[in-house]
Amino acid sequence: MAEIKGYLFPDDLYYHPDHAWVRLEADGTATIGMNDFFRKEAGDIVYADLPFEDDEITAGEVCGKLQSSKWIGKMIAPLSGRVVAVNERLESDSGLINQSPYDEGWIARVQPSNWESDKDYLMSGVEALTPWLEKEIARAEAEKKK
């Protein structure tokens, strides 16, 4: 697990610039969730509007909404494919996204339709994540000053 600027990023995941993570599973599906930076910046998640099983999602497009005590945000799909499972526990306990963003707080499992192409737009490794995260931290700090 890498710690970058005080945020945790498991080494075995891919990361989308809009704060989603992707873990490719042994069965070929991909589990998605929201990263540690998102969790800390958003505050407590109070509601999750999730995609439905069998929905087709498209990389870079909205696939759900997350609401915290601070704001309502769009969840951007980090890859394209068919949703094969959603984390139904989030319906009654959306706080799992905050408590366990990389484990129990996963959002959906997807059968990727174009993994080889989609992964080109995802980041992995400290070298790729550090400059992106520095920009996100600066952006968040500027927003707080407004």
Residue range 2-139 in CATH 2.40.50.100: yes
Tens-digit pLDDT profile for the chain (146 aa)?
Answer: 899 999 999 999 999 999 999 999 999 999 999 999 998 888 889 999 999 999 999 999 999 999 988 788 899 999 999 999 999 999 999 999 999 999 999 999 999 999 999 999 999 999 999 999 999 999 989 888 87
Domains of the chain, by residue range, sit at 2-139
C-alpha dihedral over 103, 109, 113, 119, to 10 degrees?
Answer: -10
